[in-house]
Amino acid sequence: MLKKKIKIEVIQKVLDNWTGFFLPYQMALHELESDFKVIDLEWKTLHGYSPIEHMKTRLKKLRSLVEKIQRKEIPLTQEAVRNEIRDILGVRIVTSFIDDVYMLKEHIEQREDIRMIRVKDYIQDPKMSGYKSLHLIVETQVILSNEIIWVPAEIQIRTSAMDFWASTEHKLNYKYQGETIPEDAQKQLIELAKASSLMDKEMSRLRTKLLAN
């Protein structure tokens, strides 16, 4: 570990000289994006329904990566950064129902081209703020011309209601960056999270009832 935090400018300069550092992540992003588009098409064709409402992919911006390296005091080597920061590549999948979240998780676990590394279930165990989502740290296989590599990624799966709540919280955190969100707004967010959770449960009950008929 570093004894002192290195200046952001120094980290940025080092990363600028890491030619090809982001290339494996770009390749893995295309792989995951393609995988889930195939799943979406297949399930729509076979079942007339896909659990994937929409999907978003991203590579962590350089500034965000630099700040995380500084915050976690990670040694400035490519190996250390790759091993310590597992969410440089991110995929967010939004579903209609809670059951769909776990159905996708099971599908991911069964794939041979994706390794499950860690699961953080903020649906069963929400954050204090009320945040809910299923976070999966995985490694996805990328087949190159002369080798196979495994690239880490974070996959977040949540319902539309959870996604709307998380988006609202994110906007508030951005507005009050560096400051505490007003207490009344925090309480309202928690109440909205409860209402969102209730809606998800009722929608799941309705879905089960309709499918049973």
Phi, psi of 183 (to 5 degrees): -60, -40
Selected catalytic residue, list 109, 154, 179, 191: 154
Report how far apart, in Å, the C-alpha atoms of 75 and of each of 9, 25, 79, 137, 151 are.
15, 20, 9, 22, 20
CA dihedral sign of residues 115, 95, 167, 119: negative
Closest Cα partner for 58 from 85, 80, 78, 28? 28
179 is annotated as an active-site residue: no
Structure tokens at 89: 């590549």
Q: Strand 114-121 to strand 89-95: parallel, antiparallel, or no bridges (unpaired)?
A: unpaired
SS3 call for 143: strand
Which amino acid does the sequence have at 139?
E
DSSP letter, residue 7? P
Q: Which residues are catalytic?
A: 154
